[in-house]
């Protein structure tokens, strides 16, 4: 529910800027760059999760209200992309670099990387607890040996 409130607040804050932004060729390059990114995929997954939670919490919600919810979420994501994500990428990549990366992601290998990127990140993130436990255990051994030597 906190996520839903965050999305609603973002919508209110960003809607005026989004509505007034004309699309240029440069913006199209950056949109393509972002839409294929893991960040965008994560936002889309979050949107689906929010819709699923709302459906579970309000099973009697009409299809038209659910469509309005879906549209609102997509609007807010679009605003967030233009107000936050694209500027962040622009601070680290030139327009020419973005074009080169976009071209790569249109190749079969680039397309495969984009398709599997989120899944791979989830798989790796799922192993962080094991990594943390292993690291803790090994560091405890180091500290214990150091203490025993004193």
The pLDDT tens digits of the residues spanning 69-83 come to 889 988 888 888 889
- Phi and psi for 36 in degrees, rounded to 5? -95, 0
**Has residue 147 been placed in a domain?**
no
Mean pLDDT of 47-62: 87
- Give the per-residue pLDDT at 147: 86
Task: Note whether residue 120 is domain-resident.
Answer: no
Give the mean pLDDT of 16-37: 75
Q: Is residue 137 part of a domain?
A: no
Residue 141 lies in a domain: no
Task: Examine residue 43 and state whether it is found in any structural domain, yes or no.
Answer: yes
- 113 assigned to some structural domain: no
pTM: 0.60
DSSP 83: I
Interval 8-21 mean pLDDT: 49
What's the rounded mean pLDDT across residues 21-34? 84
Examine residue 51 and state whether it is found in any structural domain, yes or no.
yes
Q: Residue holding tokens 């390059």?
A: 29
Q: Tokens in use for 93?
A: 């990549």
How many CA atoms lie within 13 Å of 119's alpha carbon, on the beta-carbon side? Answer: 5
From the list 7, 10, 79, 82, the residue with the least C-alpha distance to 47 is: 7
Give a yes or no: residue 129 inside a domain. Answer: no
Task: Say which residues have a Cβ less than 8 Å from residue 117's Cβ, sequence separation at least 6.
Answer: 38, 41
Predicted local distance difference test score (pLDDT) of residue 7: 54
Q: What share of the chain is helix, strand, coil (3-state, %, to 5)?
A: 85, 0, 15
What is the total count of domains within the chain?
A: 1
Query: In whole angstroms, what is the distance from residue 48 CA to residue 69 CA?
Result: 11
- Domain span holding position 23: 2-106
- Average pLDDT, integer, range 57-62: 88
């Amino acid at each position: 529910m906190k996520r839903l409130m965050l999305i609603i607040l973002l919508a209110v804050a960003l809607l005026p800027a989004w509505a007034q932004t004309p699309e240029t060729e440069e913006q199209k390059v950056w949109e393509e760059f972002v839409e294929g990114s893991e960040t965008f995929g994560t936002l889309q997954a979050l949107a689906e999760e929010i819709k699923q939670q709302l459906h579970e919490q309000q099973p009697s919600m009409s299809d038209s209200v659910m469509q309005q919810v879906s549209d609102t979420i997509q609007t807010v994501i679009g605003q967030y992309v233009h107000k936050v994500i694209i500027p962040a990428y622009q601070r680290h990549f030139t327009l020419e670099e973005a074009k080169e990366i976009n071209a790569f992601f249109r190749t079969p290998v680039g397309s495969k990387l984009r398709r599997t990127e989120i899944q791979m990140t989830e798989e790796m993130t799922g192993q962080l607890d094991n990594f943390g436990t292993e690291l803790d255990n090994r560091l405890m051994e180091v500290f214990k040996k150091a203490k025993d030597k004193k």
